[in-house]
Amino acid sequence: MAVLKHPTAPADRLGRGFRYAGALAAVLALSACGGGGGSEDDGAADATSTPAVEADPELAETVPQEIRDQGSLKIGTDSTYAPAEYLSADGDTVVGFDVELFNAVAAKLDLETQWQSSSFGTIVEGVDTAKYDVGVSSFTINEERMEQAHMVSYYTVGTQWFTAEGNPGGVAPDDACGTNVAVQANTVQVEDIEARSQECVDGGDPEINISKFKGQDQATESIISGRNDAGLADMPVAVYAVQQTDGQLETLGEQYEAAPYGVVVSKDNTALAEAIAAGYQSIMDDGTYAEILGDWDLDDQGTLESSEVDPSVEG
C-alpha cells in the first residue's frame, strides 16, 4: 500500500518519453517499469507534477464525519492498468491519470489517499464490505455495477482492439472467429468477446479462443510473445501499450461503445458519493481536470463537463 499526500508528485510517471525494454520479461512488468520524461538513454523520471490543489472548506464539510475523522480514503485499485493506474519503479507507489485525478478530488475534500493494490474482480466487493472506502480502477459504469454500488462518473472510454505489429494473425474485430484473443478477467471486454465468439459458433464458424488474464499486463505480454493474436481493452490502455512497446503492437480499427468510467462507492454511503462527484466537478470547473488529462495526452477525447452519481447509461 502506498500513501500519497496531496498534491501528489509521482516519483515515476510512465509518460511520453518512456521506452520499454525489448525483453518480454520487461513487458510482462508493463505496469511496473520505471522511466519517462528524461532522455531515452538515462530513463530519468518525468519531473512534471500534478497541479497543486487546495482544499475547499465547503466541499470538505460535505464529507461524512467518519471519513473526515479518518482523514483519508482507502482506495482499492488494480495497479496493472497503465496508464490509468499502475505501479511506479519502486514497485509500491500507485500512479497514473486515474490516480492523479482522484488525488486532486481528495485534495479538494481535504483528504489524503491510501492506494491499495488489489485484483480487479474483488474491488467492488471490497467496497461493499468496507475493506475500501472507494474503488478507483477504470470501472466502466453499467447497470449491473450500479445495482451493487454507487458510481461517480469522471471520464468516457470505449473498447479498442490491438495486435502485434503487422497483424500477423490477420485478425479483424468483426471477423475474429478461430483466432486467439486476450482480455483481462472481469472487465466489460469479457462479455464483448464472449458474445462475438458465440456469434461465430451460431454462424457455423470456429469459436474465438479466449484467454482471460488476472492483469492487463499479462494479457498484453501474451500478444507480444505470440501466444495470442490480438487483445481488446479500454482505449487509453490499448493505445498506451502500442506507444510504449517500440513498434511491437498496433491498434485495430477505432474504439467503440464508449461509456463513462466511475468511482465505486458503497450504496450505504450516498453522502460520500455526492461529495466525490462535487470534488470532480470542482476540478473540472477550475481547469485541474483538463490539465491532468493534458499531461497524459488524454484531453482531446473522453472528457466530461459534469460528474454525476449513478448517471443514466444504456444497457
Per DSSP, 228 falls in state S
Query: Where are the strands (E) in 104-248, listed by range?
Result: 112-117, 134-135, 150-164, 180-184, 209-213, 230-234
Level-2 CATH architecture, domain 158-257? 3-Layer(aba) Sandwich (3.40)
CATH 3.40.190.10 placement within the chain: 2-157+260-295, 158-257
Is the pLDDT confidence value at 56 over 80?
Answer: yes
Q: Is 204 exposed, middle or buried (0-12, 13-18, 19+ CB in 10 A)?
A: exposed
The model's pTM is: 0.76
Per DSSP, 247 falls in state T
Nearest alpha carbon to residue 85 among 151, 134, 25, 26: 134
Tell me the CATH number for domain 2-157+260-295: 3.40.190.10
The CA distance from 191 to 212, in Å, is 11
* 315: confidence class by pLDDT, cuts 50, 70, 90: low
* 300: confidence class by pLDDT, cuts 50, 70, 90: confident
Is the pLDDT confidence value at 244 over 90?
Answer: no
Per-residue cell: 194: 464472449
Phi-psi region of 167 (alpha: psi -120 to 50; beta: other; left: phi over 0): left
Torsion angle defined by CA atoms of residues 118, 119, 120 and 121, in that order, rounded to the nearest 10 degrees: -130
**What are 89-135's pLDDT values in tens digits?**
999 999 999 999 999 999 999 999 999 999 999 999 999 999 999 99
Phi first, then psi, for residue 167 (nearest 5°) are 50, 60
* 252: confidence class by pLDDT, cuts 50, 70, 90: very high
Torsion angle defined by CA atoms of residues 20, 23, 27 and 32, in that order, rounded to the nearest 10 degrees: -70
The pLDDT score that the predictor gives to residue 50 is 67
Is the pLDDT confidence value at 1 over 50?
Answer: no
